[in-house]
Amino acid sequence: MQPGLKTRLDYDDYAAIPADGRRWELLDGEPHVSPAPSPLHQQLVGGLFVALLKHFPRPARVYVSPIDVIFTPHDVLQPDLVVVADPVQVSARGIEGPPLLVVEVLSPTTATYDRSTKAHRFAALGVRHLWLVDPDARRIECHRREGADYRLVVSAGPGDALAHPDFPTLSIPLAPLWE
């Protein structure tokens, strides 16, 4: 390694990455890049955005990627969807600190990373709820942070209406998401 080169990037390094059309993130100071999402991925994100927007009234906010969620100077992530309960967390840079809920739509290139590395980091950074959407299985898994990791609390498929014990009035019919 050359002297003077950083081994752990921070927000300033992240902000200096030239716009190249790819989705960059920092995970504990390491850069990660994802390819552009598929049309089905975008369809699922759009449908869930509308459903979450209807369910979480102001002062909560619902955001769709790309948006920076700045957890620490070394952790800047771009979940597919973000629900922020406290609007004070929203700044000119992005979302500062752990949101109430993040949603990740899995893809063949990111599924393992999203389910393991990224999920463990979200838990360590204080994200209470993580939803993983599996387009191939046509399922949504809702995880709740318990201690240092997540526990599955709800799993729903295309014939179901997604209901969650922590959000008693939430009911999202899932069949239309895949139509």
Q: What is the pLDDT of residues 155-165, one digit of tens each?
A: 999 899 999 99
Task: Measure CA 88 to chain center.
Answer: 19
Whether residue 5 is predicted with pLDDT greater than 70 in this model: the reply is no
Does some domain include residue 9?
no
Q: Rg of the Cα trace of the chain?
A: 16
Does some domain include residue 24?
no
Does some domain include residue 14?
no
Does some domain include residue 32?
no
pTM: 0.90
Write out the residue range of the structural domain in which residue 118 sits: 37-178
Whether the Cβ atoms of residue 134 and residue 68 lie closer than 8 Å to each other: no
Q: Classify 21 in phi/psi space as left (phi over 0), alpha (psi -120 to 50) or beta.
A: left
Does some domain include residue 31?
no
CATH number, position 137 = 3.90.1570.10
Does some domain include residue 2?
no
Mean pLDDT of the chain: 92
Does some domain include residue 19?
no
Does some domain include residue 42?
yes
Query: How many structural domains is the chain composed of?
Result: 1
Residue 1: what pLDDT?
Answer: 42
